[in-house]
Amino acid sequence: MNMKELVTGCRTYRKFLQEPIPRETLVEMIENVRIVNSARNAQPLHYTVAAKREDIEAIMPLTMWAGAIPNGLGRPKEDEYPVAFIFISKIADGNSWSDVDLGIAADTLCKDAWLRGYGSAMLGAINGPKIAEYVGLKEGYELKLAIALGKPAIKSTVVDVKEDGSLTYYVDEDFNYYVPKRPFEEIVDFI
Ligand SMILES: Cc1cc2nc3c(=O)[nH]c(=O)nc-3n(C[C@H](O)[C@H](O)[C@H](O)COP(=O)(O)O)c2cc1C
């Protein structure tokens, strides 16, 4: 898979097949993200992996999905739940660079998952404190982001922005997603 294929396929998936992800795969993904770039090499992040069905069921009510799809219809149903979550927490020391580290780590995990055939959804709209309490997060860390994982049960396609200029993603009758992206000319200047 080349980079173009990777960034095209690695979309946000919100419905998953109920096939578990082997623990070794999750371990390898954490091993990879362990050594990515970090501002001042401070490495302020901590990862919590949850892949037991009982934990997924307990955590799902603390997550919000697809705000742009009306009536909560973008939320996965029980038989479409992710099969694993990786939560990313950061040391609560006010270091603003740690948000950049967080983005790098989240992207690494999602791209790594896609290279292994798993889809992902980064979720920022979560009840971080409640999830932190549930997973027993260590003192001094804030739980910032959830990455939901599993084999996608739907497709997602990048499309051009329509004439009305809306960037809002939308779905078809089978809940396949269409994700408008701004055109090349709009987002870049070569000087
Ligand atoms: C930092 C971040 C937080 C996000 N939080 C949520 C979320 O809470 N719930 C959700 O359904 N999608 C969430 N998303 C997914 C975005 O909605 C999605 O990336 C966007 O619609 C573009 O789709 P694409 O990822 O397929 O390009 C988040 C994405 C990012 C990068």
Question: Is a pLDDT exceeding 90 seen at residue 7?
Answer: yes
- Distance in angstroms (rounded) separating the CA atoms of residues 67 and 70: 7
Six-digit token string for 136: 């027993």
pLDDT above 70 as % of the chain: 100
Nearest CA to ligand 1 atom 9: 65
For the chain, the average pLDDT equals 97
Q: What is the number of residues in the chain? A: 191
At 141 the pLDDT is 97
CATH code (residue 47): 3.40.109.10
179, containing H or E segment: strand 177-181
Instruction: Output the pLDDT for position 94.
Output: 80
pLDDT at 151 over 90: yes
pLDDT of residue 183: 96
The answer to whether residue 179 sits within a structural domain is no
Among 6, 10, 12, 178, the mutation site with the greatest number of ligand 1 atoms within 8 A of its Cβ is: 12
Give the pLDDT mean for 20-31: 98
Residue located nearest, by CA, to atom 7 of ligand 1: 123
Is pLDDT above 90 for 71? no
Average pLDDT for residues 73-77, to the nearest whole number?
A: 94
In a domain, 181, yes or no: no
Distance 12 CA to ligand 1 centre (A): 6
Question: By the 8 A CB rule, do 179 and 155 touch?
Answer: no
What average pLDDT does range 82-107 have in this prediction?
95
Domain assignment present for residue 84? The answer is: yes
Q: Which two tokens stand for residue 165?
A: 């200029």
Residue 28's pLDDT is what? 98
Q: How many domains does the chain have?
A: 1
In a domain, 103, yes or no: yes
Does residue 33 belong to any structural domain of this protein?
yes
The answer as to whether 100 is a domain residue is yes
Does the pLDDT at position 96 exceed 90?
no
Residue 88 within any structural domain of the chain:
yes
What's the CA gap between 164 and 103, in Å, rounded?
30
Residue numbers of the domain that contains 10: 3-154
Which one, of 87, 83, 118, lies nearest residue 9 by Cα? 118
pLDDT tens string 160-184: 999 999 999 999 999 999 999 999 9
Q: Is residue 50 part of a domain?
A: yes
- Tell me if 27 sits within 8 A of 21, measured CB to CB: no
Q: How far is the CA of 181 from the centre of ligand 1 (A)?
A: 13
Pairing of strands 141-150, 119-123: antiparallel
